[in-house]
Structure 1
Amino acid sequence: MAPEASFIAIIASAAAMTAIVGGRYLATSGLFAWITGRVLPGHYAGLDSQIRREILWSLASAAIYGIPAGVVAWGWQAHGWTRIYTDADTWPLWWLPLSVLVYLLLHDTWFYWTHRWMHRPRVFRVAHAVHHASRPPTAWAAMSFHPLEALTGAIVVPGLVFLVPIHVAALGTVLTIMTVMGITNHMGWELFPRRLVHSRIGHWLITASHHQRHHESYRCNYGLYFRHWDHLCGTDSGLSEAFSRSSPSSPARP
């Protein structure tokens, strides 16, 4: 392929991926915001200006996520650069679910340590304060990042596909989990059953009850999917007291 044609193809792939990421954000955050309105009418009352800011920052983040993803997608399709595979027999079938867990664990590790770095005072003021300006966070806040923070998140999965083999369907599962958990952890109420959140399994999983505590106290509960790094490093501060005081049908707004 001629250099000019390759350049055009890369730009087209990056633009398409940006549109996909932005559209996915609007559709999924919009869905969970609608669910919030149905379950808890008025829960986001008075937050219109905040939600508009969240959407604008998130659409900017969509481009920062979409550009590297688009370049990697082009490289995979045009040159086979990555370790993404489409034939399920390429690797043993047991690797399909295990690869999803490996990606989530590696992503969670990266997120935990970069998130702690984002809470260093100088970095927080420059970048992470944008995300914490959502008080309280809403279903629209999951991608509401300063460009510097968005960049730290945007390189993880595109980087992993060069290192860890994964079936395209398993990669889709990882991206779906990433999207859903990012949104549900910011909704301002607990979607998952109390029995799960307070169970032994819940002790190791991050849900809205856990992440809300981070938005209340800042210097704790840094994980993305799992709580093991918070447990190991002594940064786990438990669940939001505002959530624990509320009933499942009418969670309190902190």
Structure 2
Amino acid sequence: MYQFLYFLFFSSHRSFSASSLFADSCAISPHALFVLSALVVTMSITAVIKHAGVEVYSRSTLRSPFARWMVGATHHDLHHLRYRCNYGLYFTFWDAWMRTEDTGFEKRFMDHTSKRLIKIG
């Protein structure tokens, strides 16, 4: 099993020549390309969530030990409204740590998530 994992993750690393530091740093392994692609997809999805204008997270998000730290539309909208708060790009714990989170965020989040959608049809 370990030989398979070694081959899978490190065999491409051995195939690059270490003739120069520049050439070695410019070589892109298939794994790095996969990680870069996953990062771009993740960044795109979070950008859509933050700029959707609709809160995609539920009211229970604030009670979750992990999900409460995710930046959603309400948190990001407050950044665009006031510009001097809510700087966290992906996680709100940066704002909590640096004391830059808007004091009205939780109330605004609860207001936005308590609105009922109108059912058509």
Shorter-chain TM range is 0.5 to 0.7
CA RMSD of aligned residues (A): 2.6
Which whole-Å CA distance do the structure 1 matches of 2:27 and 2:91 have between them? 25
- Aligned letter for 2:53? G
- TM-score under structure 2 normalisation? 0.61
User: What letter corresponds to residue 237 of structure 1 in structure 2?
Assistant: D
Greater Cα radius of gyration, structure 1 or 2? 2
Contact 1:190–1:248 under 8 Å retained in 2: no
Q: Secondary structure at the match of 2:26?
A: coil
Cα distance in 2 for partners of 1:83, 1:205 equals: 34
**Amino acid across the alignment from 1:85:** S
Structure 1's 168 and 222: CA in aligned 2 closer, same or farther, altered over 3 A?
same
SS in 2 for 1:224: coil
Shift of 1:233: 1.4
> Identity of paired residues, percent?
30
For 2:57 and 2:101, the matched residues in 1 are separated by: 20
- What code does the residue aligned with 2:84 have? R
Is residue 245 of structure 1 aligned with residue 111 of structure 2? Answer: yes
Q: Give the CA deviation at 1:85.
A: 1.4
| Residue number among 182, 190, 194 corresponding to 2:47 in the alignment | 182
Q: CA deviation at 1:205?
A: 1.7
Structure 1 position 84 matched with structure 2 position 28: yes
Structure 1 alignment gaps of length 5 or more:
1-78, 89-166
Counterpart of 2:14? none
Native 8 Å contact 1:197 1:207 kept in 2: no
- C-alpha contact 1:84 1:168 (8 A) present in aligned 2: yes
- 1:209 Cα shift? 2.2
Q: 2: CA distance between counterparts of 1:171 and 1:193?
A: 30
Residues 168 and 242 of structure 1, relative CA distance in 2, 3 Å threshold:
same
Q: Structure 2 CA distance, aligned partners of 1:242 and 1:176?
A: 29
In the alignment, structure 2 segments of 5+ residues that lack a partner are 1-22
> How far does residue 187 in structure 1 lie from its aligned partner after superposition?
1.1
- Conserved? CA contact 2:59–2:110, under 8 Å: no
CA contact (8 A) 1:197 1:203 kept: yes
- Are the structure 2 counterparts of residues 168 and 208 from structure 1 closer, same or farther at C-alpha, using a change threshold of 3 Å? same
SS at match of 2:37: helix
- Kept in 2, the 8 Å contact 1:221–1:236? The answer is yes
CA change 1:188–1:226 in 2 (3 A) is: same
Give the TM-score taking structure 1 as reference length: 0.32
Give the one of 215, 219, 235 matched to 2:80.
215
Residues 81 and 228 (structure 1 numbering): CA distance in 2 closer, same or farther, change over 3 Å? same
Q: Distance in 1 between matches of 2:68 and 2:57?
A: 13
